Every structure is written in C-alpha cells, then in structure tokens.
C-alpha cells in the first residue's frame, strides 16, 4: 500500500528498515522454509533483536511503547514476503495483547520480556476438533483443584503450534454454566508443563512454512496464577480482542492482492502471444482494470478502518465487513491472476501459485466469512 495519512517520517524509516531486514533475512530463505515446513527459531530471534516483536509493549517490560500503526507496517511487510509469516503477526498483535490488557503485573513481568526477545513464542488455542466458530461449545476443561487448574481436552489448527512455547488456552472453568459462554476462561500454559503435549505438525494445502499443530491436555496441572483476568470472563475478553485479529487478517489480504496485481502486471507486459504482449489484449486490460479498482476501493476502506481502530473506536461491524470482503476479493484476484499467467501460473516457481494456495484459508480463520456476515446482519438490526 502507499503511504497512509497517519504515517510520519518515523513510520517511513521504520518500514524501510524492516523491509531491508526482511530482504536480507527472509526473502532468500523463504522457499527453503516452505520446503522444510517450518520457519526457524533463529529468524524469530533476529526479529526480536531488531525490535520487530511486540513493539507495542510498554518500555517497562522491554518494549518500545509504539501504537498499532507500527504493527500495521510489520503485518504488511511480512505479508509481502509471504503468508507463511502469519505466525509473527499472531504473536505480536493477537496473543500478546491479551497479556497486556488483562494480565496481572506479575504475569506481565513473567512473560512480556520473553515475548519481545522470542524466548517465548506464543499461540492461541481456541479451535477444537468439534468446535470452531461456535466458541461456546468448546469441551476443554480447567477444573479448580486447590491452588491449581487441571486441564483436559484437545485443540487443533493451532498457529505456532510447533515453535510455540507459551499458549493462551480457551477453557471451560464451569462446564455447567448457563448460558454456556459464561463458563469460559483464559489460561496460559507453558511448554514442558506435565500433561501438556503437542501432536503432529499438520500438513496444509497452503502456508507451508507456517507451523500448525494439535495440542493435548491430559490432567495438565497449572497454577491458578496462570489465569488471565477473571474466571468466567474469557468469552468477553475474546470478543473484545477479535476486532484487532480480524483487522490484521484484512490487512494481510489487501497486501496479498496488491502483490498479485504487481507480479501479474509485470508478467503480462513481458509475455508474448500471437506476436504481441498479453497486456495489449482487451481481455487482459479489462481484468487488470477490475483488479486494480477492487484493490483501490479496499485500500481506502481499510485506511479509514485502521485510523478508527487506532483512535479506540468500536468498529466491529466494519472490521467484519473488511475481513469478509477483502479475503474474498483476494481469493477472486488469485484466480484471475493465475489465469493471466497461463500454464506458468500453475508452476511452484512462480509466486502466483503460492498466493493461490495460501489465500483461501484467510476466509476461514479468525472467524469464517459466514460468521462475519452473521455479525454484520445482527449489527444492522436484522
């Protein structure tokens, strides 16, 4: 995206520095990470050393005290390299904010400094084999036993599931609560806790370098000091923070669309058919014009949304619209751009092929697009 209205010289310098870092440390290695099905922890460590992990954390805990606008820049530049870097955004803008917003002083001191250095790599464990968008239906329990909780259950599709060593786990502390969502709480579980184990690294259609795994809890005992916020308030905390999570997904989808347009423009200008460049055909021109228009409309909507979010406004309806529309648009654009690449678009050596397989999941995670439409409809008074 071009320069935002809210960007200062400091933002410009920050973006340039990050882009140079990623061109040196990520771009040359990305293909091998995809083949290895994992981003090495050494890259996480370098991100931490450069100040690109959780820059929003207060300086008291080792952060830079920056606002979400810098997180936007990090999300964009990571997405330009590839969607498999989504785990960094999840750590920075989705999981760590729960500790910042609802954690105690002791919890912040215990975990935040490590989140900034990558000593702690976080994940959020919501989804279960039988519960996705219907969070109130989760079955994982955390039953109080004196000064501990005893966890039992299974989580799946967990981003950072292999590299992660600190997980925000959504549990039922009161399985009999009515309504059901009032029994939900959030707890932190560290790797190495007895009774906590990881399953296989899941083999996905796309996002090959991004580690996704199953997590298991069998009589896993954690101290009650690992409870985030208050017992029974977990569902409310999730609803409060999902706005930013969905905004991050929308930002990534927008950048993916821009990247696909850029690579396709280059390709159609250089590729020849019937003695002239593909870009000279009216069908190509019309398709490119349609794609460019969708991207420009998305950019304007997203910019105003980011500004409102930074200003602390409640933008749940618009965020739901952005998450749904921008991810669907990116998927449509991936199909059109692959078609314009012809047979080469189906080859792994062309980046459009990776975009084509990476994009569909964005309409599923962070709440499916069908759930986004439910939220929009409800908030419209239907």
Alpha helices in the chain (DSSP H): 9-25, 30-36, 41-49, 68-81, 86-89, 96-102, 105-117, 234-270, 282-310, 316-341, 351-358, 369-379
d(CA 36, CA 40): 9
Beta strand 148-159 with 196-201: parallel, antiparallel or unpaired?
A: unpaired
d(CA 115, CA 371): 31
Supply 193's token pair: 């806790």
CA-based nearest residue to 292, from 342, 340, 257: 257
Residue in this structure with the two tokens 């950019």, named with its chain if needed: 299
Contact 121, 84 (CB under 8 A): no
Residue in this structure with the two tokens 């979400």, named with its chain if needed: 68
DSSP state of 216: E
Q: How many Cβ atoms from other residues are within 10 Å of residue 359's Cβ?
A: 26
Catalytic residues, by residue number, are 245
Instruction: Tell me the torsion sign for CA atoms 160, 201, 166, 45.
Output: negative
CB-side neighbour CA atoms (13 Å) of 150: 6
């Amino acid at each position: 995206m071009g320069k935002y209205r809210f960007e200062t010289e400091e933002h410009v310098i920050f973006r340039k520095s990050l882009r140079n870092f990623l061109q040196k440390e990520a771009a040359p290695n990305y293909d091998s990470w995809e083949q290895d099905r994992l981003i090495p922890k050494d890259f996480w460590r370098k991100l931490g050393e450069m100040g690109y992990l959780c820059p929003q954390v207060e300086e008291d805990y080792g952060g830079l005290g920056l606002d979400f606008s810098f997180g936007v820049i990090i999300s964009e530049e990571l997405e330009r390299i590839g969607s498999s870097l989504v785990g960094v955004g999840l750590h920075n803008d989705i999981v760590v904010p729960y500790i910042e917003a609802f954690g105690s002083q002791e919890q912040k001191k215990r975990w935040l400094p490590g989140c900034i250095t990558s000593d702690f790599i976080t994940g959020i464990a919501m989804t279960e084999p039988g519960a996705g968008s219907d969070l109130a239906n989760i079955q994982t329990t955390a039953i109080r036993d004196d000064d501990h909780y005893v966890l039992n259950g299974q989580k799946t599709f967990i981003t950072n599931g292999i590299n992660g060593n600190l997980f925000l786990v959504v549990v039922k502390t009161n399985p009999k609560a009515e309504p059901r969502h009032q029994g939900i709480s959030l707890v932190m579980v560290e790797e190495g806790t007895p009774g906590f184990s990881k399953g296989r690294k899941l083999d996905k259609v796309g996002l090959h370098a991004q580690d996704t795994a199953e997590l298991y809890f069998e009589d896993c005992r954690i101290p009650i000091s690992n409870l985030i916020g208050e017992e029974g308030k977990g569902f409310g905390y999730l609803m409060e923070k999902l706005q930013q999570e969905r905004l991050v997904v929308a930002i990534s989808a927008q950048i993916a669309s821009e990247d696909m347009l850029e690579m396709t423009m280059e390709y159609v200008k250089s590729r020849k058919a019937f003695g002239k460049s593909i870009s000279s055909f009216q069908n190509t021109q019309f398709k490119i014009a349609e794609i460019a228009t969708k991207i420009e409309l998305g950019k304007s909507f997203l910019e105003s949304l980011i500004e409102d979010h930074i200003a602390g406004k409640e933008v749940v309806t618009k965020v739901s619209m952005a998450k749904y529309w921008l991810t669907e648009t990116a998927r449509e654009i991936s199909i059109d751009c692959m078609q314009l690449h012809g047979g080469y678009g189906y080859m792994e050596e062309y980046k459009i092929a990776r975009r084509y397989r990476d994009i569909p999941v964005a309409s599923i995670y962070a709440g499916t697009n069908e759930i986004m439409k439910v939220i929009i409809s409800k908030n419209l008074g239907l």
